[in-house]
Amino acid sequence: MTESVRLMVADDHALFRQGLKSLLRRRREFQVVAEVDRASEVAQMLAATPCDVLLLDLQMERWTIDDIENFATATKVLVLTASEHTDDAVSALKMGARGVVQKRFAIETLMQAIRAVADGLVWAPPTVQAEIAAQWRAPADKLLTDRELEIVRFVASGMRNAEVGEKLAISEATVKTHLNNIFHKLGLRDRVELTLYAIRHGLATASRF
C-alpha cells in the first residue's frame, strides 16, 4: 500500500484550517501531521515534525511570501491564497513554492495539486502558467534579433540548415553563423536544446508557418 502524504497546514483562520483538516482526513492518502496558526512558528514546527507538503496560507497574520525560500529547504511548499493577482503566485513560485492553489477552487483541485507537488511536480492555475510563460519569453525576445527569432522558429519546426537558408534566401553557412550566435546568447549547446527552449518559451509557433 502506498504511504500517505504527510501534510502540515499553516493558516491563521481557524474555521478554514479546521474545515480543511476535516476534508483531508477523509482521504486515506493524506495525513495531517501538524497545524500552525502563526507564520513565525512554521519553521520551528517543520524542524520538529517533518512533512511531505506544507500547505501555506500566503496571507496569514503577516505576509509569508518572503519565508517560502526558507520553508522550501525543509519540505515542498504548496501555497494557498485568496488573492486573484497572478503576480503574487508567480512570486511565490520564484521563491521556491512547488504549487499555488486559490482558495476559491474546489477541494478536488487542491487534492490534485497536493498529489502533484508530493510527486515532485509543479502545480499552478492556467492564468499563472500563462504569466510565467510570458515572463520566460521576454529575455529571448530581447536578446535575439528578428532574424535570429525567425531561425529559432524554423529550426524548432524541424527544418535543416539548408532548408532554413532557402526559406530566408541566405546561405547555409550564414544560418550556421546565426545559430552559433543564438546558442551563445541563450546558453544552449545544440539544436535539440534550442528546440526544447523554443517550445518551453513559446517561440516554436508563429504566424509565418
Report the number of distinct structural domains present in the chain: 2
Evaluate whether residue 137 is within a structural domain. Answer: no
Give the pLDDT confidence score for residue 39 in this predicted structure: 93
pTM reported for the whole predicted model: 0.65
Point out the residues of the chain with pLDDT beneath 50: 1, 206-209
Q: 120 and 149 share a domain?
A: no
**Domain harbouring 52, CATH code:** 3.40.50.2300
Q: 161 and 77 share a domain?
A: no
| Domain end position, chosen among 131, 156, 188 | 131
In degrees and rounded to multiples of 5, residue 139 shows phi and psi of -60, -45
Q: What is the SS3 string spanning the chain? A: CCCCEEEEEECCCHHHHHHHHHHHHCCCCEEEEEEECCHHHHHHHHHHCCCCEEEEECECCCECHHHHHHHCCCCEEEEEECCCCHHHHHHHHHCCCCEEEECCCCHHHHHHHHHHHHCCCCECCHHHHHHHHHHHHHHHHHHCCHHHHHHHHHHHCCCCHHHHHHHHCCCHHHHHHHHHHHHHHHCCCCHHHHHHHHHHCCCCCCCCC
Q: 58 and 31 share a domain?
A: yes
| Domain housing 60 | 5-131
**Domain harbouring 166, CATH code:** 1.10.10.10
Q: 68 and 158 share a domain?
A: no
Give the pLDDT confidence score for residue 208 in this predicted structure: 34
| Domain end position, chosen among 84, 108, 131 | 131
Q: 90 and 125 share a domain?
A: yes
Evaluate whether residue 208 is within a structural domain. Answer: no
How far apart (Å, rounded) are the C-alpha atoms in residues 139 and 134? Answer: 10
